[in-house]
């Protein structure tokens, strides 16, 4: 089930801004975890969650960069007019894809879709849902969206 997501094509190289109440950086393995109403903002995309864990990757020349951000706990993703909720979301920055899992609810002007898993590709502005997709159409919107 492919659906358009987000009005504008997001650019993954925009700076990512993360705000939260607190952040713990573990000195032994260098992992970092944001807790307390965490909000990730990049361009028009906003991803909110209770906790966000930062996963690093080490490039060839040994320089560490953020590979992906794992948000857990009533995650809400908003991009342009569309919004999605889930329990977990993994945002891989370089590829600009967000994998949301755990009773995902995507509500758009056309209707709301519910499923177990959704992969949003910010660069192409598309989202593909899988796993028991359920569509609820708002008759008032007039545009009928069939599976």
Partner 1 sequence: MDQYSRMVSYLKVFLPLAALALLSTLFLISPGSDTEAVIPFADREIEERLRGQQVTAPFFSGSTAQGDEIWVTAEMASASADQPVIANALRAEIRMVAGGQITLTSDRGTVHPDQDLARFVGNVEITTTDGMVVETEVLKTQLSKVHAESPGAIRATGDLGDLTAGHMEISSETVGGPVHLLFTNSVKLVYAPQKLER
Where does this chain bind partner 1 (CB under 8 A)? 12-13, 15-30, 32, 34, 54, 56, 63-66, 93-94
Nearer Cβ to partner 1, position 25 or 144? 25
DSSP conformation class of 63: -
Contact between residue 123 and residue 96 where contact means Cβ atoms under 8 Å apart: yes
For residue 120, the minimal CB distance to partner 1 (Å) is 17
For residue 37, the minimal CB distance to partner 1 (Å) is 11
Sign of CA dihedral 47, 103, 125, 89: positive
Nearer Cβ to partner 1, position 26 or 146? 26
Which tokens hold the place of 68? Answer: 């992906």
Nearer Cβ to partner 1, position 14 or 83? 14
Nearer Cβ to partner 1, position 27 or 143? 27
Residue 41's Cβ-count burial label (10 Å; 0-12, 13-18, 19+) is middle
For residue 36, the minimal CB distance to partner 1 (Å) is 8
Contact between residue 7 and residue 109 where contact means Cβ atoms under 8 Å apart: no
- Token look-up 């894809």 returns 97
For residue 23, the minimal CB distance to partner 1 (Å) is 4
């Amino acid at each position: 089930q492919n659906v358009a997501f987000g009005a504008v094509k997001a650019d993954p190289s925009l700076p990512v801004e993360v705000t939260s109440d607190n952040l713990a950086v573990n000195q032994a393995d260098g992992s970092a975890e944001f807790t307390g109403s965490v909000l990730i903002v990049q361009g028009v995309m906003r991803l909110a969650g209770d906790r966000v864990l930062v996963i690093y990757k080490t490039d060839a020349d040994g320089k560490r960069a953020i590979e992906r951000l794992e948000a857990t706990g009533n995650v809400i993703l908003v991009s342009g007019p569309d919004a999605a909720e889930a329990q977990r979301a993994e945002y891989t920055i370089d590829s600009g894809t967000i994998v949301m899992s755990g009773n995902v609810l995507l509500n758009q002007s056309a209707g709301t879709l519910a499923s177990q898993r959704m992969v949003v590709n910010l660069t192409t502005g598309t989202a593909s849902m899988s796993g028991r997709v359920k569509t609820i159409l708002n008759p008032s919107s007039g545009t009928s969206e069939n599976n």
